[in-house]
Amino acid sequence: MFNLISVAGWVCLAGGLIYYFINSSDQSRIQETVLRSQTIIIAGAALVILGYVLGFLGRKVGGTNRCKKCGKKIDKTEMYCFDHRRESIWQAQEKHRLEGSGKFNRNKKSS
């Protein structure tokens, strides 16, 4: 959807240039031609930028997120995929356990 805005922007940019080249031969109306093609090109550039910004925000805010470890697509509320979330929780628990139990109990652990 946002990609469409960028495409429309590029079409505007190209259209502005084409408009300029078609009409620039007419020296009597050159100022008007430059002004019009400038307006079209600026509008096109604005659309391209808008399209990219919205696309960027859309990826950031909506829909999907990516796992910080493997880059797999995940739900936007999650930081990791299912496997890596389990792994990170396990690591946090392990770290907490080692820190909490202290150095003396480390040798006593039985599995």
Q: Which residues bind Zn ion (CB under 5 A)?
A: 67, 69-70, 72, 81, 84
Shortest distance (Å) from residue 88 CB to Zn ion: 9
Helices 2-23 and 30-61 pack at an angle, to 10 degrees, of: 170
Which residues, in sequence order, are CB contacts of 44 under 8 Å at separation 6+? 9, 10, 11, 12, 13, 14, 15, 16
Which of 5, 81 has the CB closer to Zn ion?
Answer: 81
Which of 57, 79 has the CB closer to Zn ion?
Answer: 79
What single letter denotes the amino acid at residue 6?
S
Q: What token pair was written down for 28?
A: 């009597």
Which of 37, 84 has the CB closer to Zn ion?
Answer: 84
Shortest distance (Å) from residue 80 CB to Zn ion: 5
Shortest distance (Å) from residue 11 CB to Zn ion: 39
What is the enclosing helix (H) or strand (E) of 75?
Answer: strand 73-75
Which of 29, 68 has the CB closer to Zn ion?
Answer: 68
